[in-house]
């Protein structure tokens, strides 16, 4: 394990930025929330923050852009996609464990299955991810219920842990090991006291997470309970509060639904556009002839949670939620999925006693 002081860490990030667009978390607004900001000039901003917890926005937007053209027609140049060189490399520093895990889940769908999204794959391959420990947890954080830790465990090239005077640094990939070796003059070997400092912070955050989520069920217990509750009235109650804004799916790091539509680029030229979409809106599942398999909002609200906690565990072997809590923070109706999961567990327990 290595240690790097704050001055050398800035030098390290400057070197990394030569290989792509650099984004770092900064504290903004009265609430002090973290947002990813592109750094084009050094020194780093004073509000740079590699402690705290996850940023407002998820990492998925770097690999799956909000909106972009995927085809032009009629085309005189064949059907080849854009040259790979036109896609910029991206360096994201301060990625949290929940986001790194989420990217790996989306990878299972986008690039590891039978079909590959070539646009996603190119952007994903050109991402360098520097993970960071959470030094605290938000009120909505529940990664511990998913069996995860509030620090990067996988999916990163390098991980940093903020301690007094600088950062502890570990490689998470061969690329990360190479970068540390190439810049070994910036690092020193970590001392035992520094490692202890990190472990104490980690233990405190885990304890806080467990305390905040002590009344909620573990995620692994939910799939069978949800199958039993498929026809429960709880879904109608939940839908009665939902305003169908789609914020939960747009901010979710593991949601990947999209829409393709055509638009005229000029008098005789057209483009096919990719854009994010939400399974919570009325028109998402609508088919030809205006048929809709999920016409009721309660069907769509239920579908979102079953997709993450039942369908995808069956098809891809994992729950597609990492406990980041963004859906809770952004919901206009203050819907908290943990509360509904607790109610489902309580109902299941009451039914067994009866």
pLDDT tens digits, residue range 192-222? Answer: 999 999 999 999 999 999 999 999 999 999 9
pLDDT for the residue 347: 87
- Per-residue pLDDT averaged across 87-112, rounded? 95
Global pTM? 0.93
pLDDT for the residue 289: 87
Residues 6+ away with beta carbon under 8 Å from 201: 133, 135, 161, 163
Both 225 and 208 in one domain: the answer is: no
Residues 6+ away with beta carbon under 8 Å from 311: none
Between 75 and 51, whose confidence is greater? 51
Number of domains comprising the chain: 2
Of 212, 237, 269, which residue sits at a domain end? 212
pLDDT for the residue 100: 98
pLDDT for the residue 274: 94
Both 306 and 339 in one domain: the answer is: yes
- Using the predicted structure, report yes or no on whether residue 47 has a pLDDT greater than 70: yes
Q: Which of 71-80, 121-130, 230-239 has the highest mean pLDDT?
A: 121-130
Both 229 and 201 in one domain: the answer is: no
Q: Pairing state of beta strands 90-95 and 127-132? A: parallel
Both 15 and 162 in one domain: the answer is: yes
Domain that holds residue 284: 219-353
Of 197, 212, 227, which residue sits at a domain end? 212
Lowest mean pLDDT among 60-64, 70-74, 291-295, 299-303: 70-74
Between 89 and 267, whose confidence is greater? 89
SS3 259: strand
Burial class (CB in 10 A: 0-12, 13-18, 19+), 261: exposed
Burial class (CB in 10 A: 0-12, 13-18, 19+), 269: exposed
Both 161 and 49 in one domain: the answer is: yes
Element (H, E) at 129: strand 127-132
| Mean of the per-residue pLDDT values of the chain | 92
- Using the predicted structure, report yes or no on whether residue 161 has a pLDDT greater than 90: yes
Is the backbone peptide bond immediately before 74 cis, with ω within 30 degrees of 0?
yes
Both 177 and 285 in one domain: the answer is: no
Residue (of 156, 169, 144, 292) closest to 219 by Cα position? 144
Both 173 and 281 in one domain: the answer is: no
Phi and psi for 133 in degrees, rounded to 5?
-65, 150
Of 163, 197, 212, which residue sits at a domain end? 212
Q: Pairing state of beta strands 21-28 and 90-95? A: parallel
């Amino acid at each position: 394990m290595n240690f790097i002081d704050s001055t050398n860490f800035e030098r390290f990030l400057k070197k990394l930025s030569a290989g792509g667009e650099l984004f770092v978390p900064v504290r903004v607004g009265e609430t002090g929330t973290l947002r990813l900001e592109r750094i084009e000039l050094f020194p780093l901003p004073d509000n740079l923050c590699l402690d705290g917890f996850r940023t407002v926005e998820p990492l998925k937007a770097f690999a799956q852009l909000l909106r972009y053209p995927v085809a032009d027609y009629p085309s005189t140049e064949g059907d080849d996609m854009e040259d790979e060189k036109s896609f910029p490399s991206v360096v994201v520093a301060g990625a949290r464990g929940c986001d790194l895990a989420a990217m790996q889940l989306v990878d299972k769908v986008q690039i590891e299955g039978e079909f590959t999204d070539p646009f996603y794959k190119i952007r994903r391959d050109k991402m360098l991810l520097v993970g960071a420990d959470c030094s605290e947890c938000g009120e909505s954080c529940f990664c511990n219920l998913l069996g995860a830790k509030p620090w990067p465990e996988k999916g990163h090239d390098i991980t940093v842990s903020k301690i007094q005077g600088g950062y502890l640094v570990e490689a998470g990939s061969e690329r990360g090991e190479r970068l540390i070796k190439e810049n070994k003059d910036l690092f020193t070997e970590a001392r035992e006291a520094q490692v202890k400092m990190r472990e104490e912070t980690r233990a405190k955050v885990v304890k806080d997470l467990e305390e905040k989520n002590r009344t909620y069920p573990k995620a692994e217990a939910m799939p069978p309970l949800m199958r039993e509750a498929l026809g429960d009235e709880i879904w109608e109650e939940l839908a009665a509060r939902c305003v169908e804004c789609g914020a939960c799916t747009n901010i979710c790091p593991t949601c990947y639904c999209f829409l393709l539509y055509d638009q005229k680029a000029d008098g005789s030229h057209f483009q096919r556009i990719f854009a994010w979409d939400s399974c919570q809106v009325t028109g998402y599942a609508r088919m030809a002839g205006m048929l809709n398999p999920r016409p009721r909002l309660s069907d769509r609200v239920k579908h979102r949670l079953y997709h993450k906690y039942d369908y995808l565990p069956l098809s891809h072997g994992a729950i597609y939620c990492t406990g980041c809590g963004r859906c809770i923070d952004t919901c206009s109706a203050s819907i908290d999925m943990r509360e509904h999961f607790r109610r489902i567990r309580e109902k299941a327990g009451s039914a067994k006693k009866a």
